[in-house]
Structure 1
Amino acid sequence: MYPQKNAYLQSLFWLLLGILSSCFNDVVTKYVTTGLTICQVCFFRFIFGSLVLVPIIMYSSNDHLFRTKRLPLHFLRGLFLAIAMSLYSYGLTQVKMSTVTIIGFANPIFVLILASIFLKEQVAWPIWVATCLAFMGIAFIVRPAIVNYNTPLLACVLATVVFALLDIINKKYITHEPILSVIFFSNLFASLCIFPVAWYDWQIPTLPQLCVLGVLGIGSNLILYFLLRAFALSDISVLAPLRYIELVVSMVFGYLFFDEWPTLDTCLGAMVIIACSCFVTYYQNR
């Protein structure tokens, strides 16, 4: 009993670190894009994210991680990652942090839909009902964007769809690849894919900006590391409901750093999306 409780507390600790790192990265992204273009910020995020792994892989004597038999697949994944992160960063610079976080909570819903299309997975009717309700929650949030042609808000929704497509690729093809290899090649190819767009409106970053971008790249790897440590100690189904702590953290960070506060429509949409996502998690792991 006590070892299980201790493992759960440790997993909760790592999960909280992952949530804090994710929200901190959002703050850094909103801050640094005031002086650099979005594509340039994404490029440095990817390139620093891959470079920081080189000494780690070399030190661990796992040089084979630099070799892969699925290079075209990693390139495709890097392309989708570049598109998703560009859309996400664009929306993040224009939309409240809490709103972007809530839209991201719809990721499991989009994964279910895409899995039924591309992986031919059977989805039970209660899951489809929850999916429809979740889209109603998204409609609460996106409705002002449709009325007022709010492109950044729609970009956040599209970014969530592309991230869900990445999850499908991971589930189908990347299951046997080492995690460090996946992160390294994904960041490397994403930086290559986004570089031509970033170079089109290139601005020479200052030394402080490069330091901040380096922190952003390291932070993106730390998010995944913390989450993997958490999931290694406890089941995903146990920790999934606790992920919604991120909404509270993003609201606090948004208020402290950018004087942001969610609207009533956003709160209503959040309640529907979170409730549906929790139901989907429970139903799949009951």
Structure 2
Amino acid sequence: MTAISVQHLHPALRAALWMAGALLSFSAMAVGGRELAAELSTFQILFFRSLIGLPLVALVALRYGGATQLRTRRLPLHLARNVSHFGGQYGWFYGLAFIPLAEVFAIEFTVPLWTALLAALLLRERLTRARLAAVALGVAGTLVILRPGMGLVHPAALAVLLAAFGYATAHTLTKKLVSTETPLAILFYMTLIQLPLGLIPSLPDWTLPSPERWPWVLAVGISALTAHYCMARALRLADATVVVPLDFLRLPLIALIGALFYGETVTWPLALGSALILAGIVVNLRAERR
């Protein structure tokens, strides 16, 4: 299909095509993280992610405005956002190494629910009945997946839950940044600040990836950027009420990948808990649309 014919498609369909790119990017990043965990520490994976992303973002910024794209007077807020985001990334990649891929994605889907709570606390946004219902369903779904009291909860699952909270904090701070900062500036300072955060803890046990792992290093670094780019393009073409539900397809897609390549199975608690979490998000989206 040519670029001209794509432009004639309905915006919602074009948004769906961009979301397909985001879904493939998130899945590639997850599989890359799982493959790299066999040789590299989580800090090293995050270091290489930023090392690849920084020059790519810088080149794009130079192409579209140079220093004017990257100018900021809110460096402390960038720092706070990226410490939170780095913590989220660490928990997410750590979880990929130890628990099923679908479980990582299911717990990660609580991010919008924690964001609603944090936005009420930090941005003074209204905490409506629909948002409270969404949070309650999300908490219930998380408890079903983790099943506290039914046995030892895997530390990696708790790490991913903390990662979701870290992501939610980063998203909330991003809302404060977007009023003055360009998207490229936010991406640039993300990779710049997180580069030393990944490098310094990696140095005591530094290991170079073996030659067969380098393609996965590139996959993680590039897919991390393309995932956010594709989602941003989708959100420009269609409402969040259209785009966000498409993101839910990540869960069955990564479950299929986990089953085909790693022999993972989807348990009933995981399926039920995921359904509760996604139901909470849908309730919130429908209420926001009204």
Which TM-score bucket, shorter chain as reference?
Answer: over 0.9
Amino acid at match of 1:96: P
| TM-score (normalizing by structure 2) | 0.92
One-letter identity of the residue aligned with 2:120: S
Q: Of the candidates 216, 225, 228, which is equivalent to residue 229 of structure 2?
A: 225
| SS of structure 2 residue aligned to 1:148 | coil
- From 84, 91, 94, give the equivalent of 2:88: 84
Give the counterpart of 2:166 among 144, 159, 162.
Answer: 162
**Are 1:147 and 2:179 counterparts?**
no
The separation in 2 between residues aligned to 1:132 and 1:57, in whole angstroms, is: 41
Partners of 1:14 and 1:226 within 8 A in 2: yes
- Trace 1:240-255 onto structure 2 (pairs within 5 A): 240-255=244-259
Partner of 1:266: 270
Name the SS of the counterpart of 1:175 in structure 2.
coil
5 Å-filtered alignment, 1:128-207, equals 128-143=132-147, 147-207=151-211
| Aligned counterparts of 1:67 and 1:140: Cα–Cα separation in 2 | 45
Gaps in structure 1 of 5+ consecutive residues: none
Q: Would the aligned equivalents of 2:137 and 2:279 in 1 still touch at CA under 8 Å? A: no
The alpha-carbon distance between structure 1 residues 204 and 73, as it changes in their structure 2 partners (threshold 3 A), is: same
Aligned residue in 2 for 1:257: 261
Q: Which residue of 2 aligns with 1:74?
A: 78
- 1:104 aligns to what? 108
Do the aligned residues in 2 keep the contact of 1:27 with 1:257 (CA within 8 Å)? Answer: no
- Give me the TM-score of the superposition, normalised by structure 1: 0.93
How far did 1:196 drift?
Answer: 1.4
Note the aligned Cα RMSD (angstroms): 1.8
Aligned to 1:43: 47
- CA-CA distance at 1:60 after TM superposition: 3.3
Which residue is equivalent to 1:6?
10
Give the structure 1 partner of residue 283 of structure 2: 279
| Structure-2 change in CA distance of 1:75 and 1:145 (3 Å) | farther
Q: 1:214 — aligned with what?
A: 218
The AA in structure 2 aligned to 1:206 is S
1:42 is displaced (CA, Å) by 0.9
* Unpaired stretches in structure 2, ≥5 consecutive residues: 1-6
Aligned-pair CA distance for 1:141: 0.5
CA contact (8 A) 2:70 2:182 kept: no
Count of residue pairs brought into register by the alignment: 284
Q: Which moved further from structure 2: 219-228 or 204-213?
A: 204-213
Give identity over the alignment, percent.
25
1:206-234, Cα deviation, whole Å (9 max, x unpaired) = 34433421221111000011001111111
Counterpart secondary structure, 2:249: helix
Query: 2:61 pairs with 57, 74, 96, which one?
Result: 57
Structure 1 CA distance for aligned equivalents of residues 149 and 187 of structure 2: 33
CA shift in 2, pair 1:66/1:128, >3 Å: closer
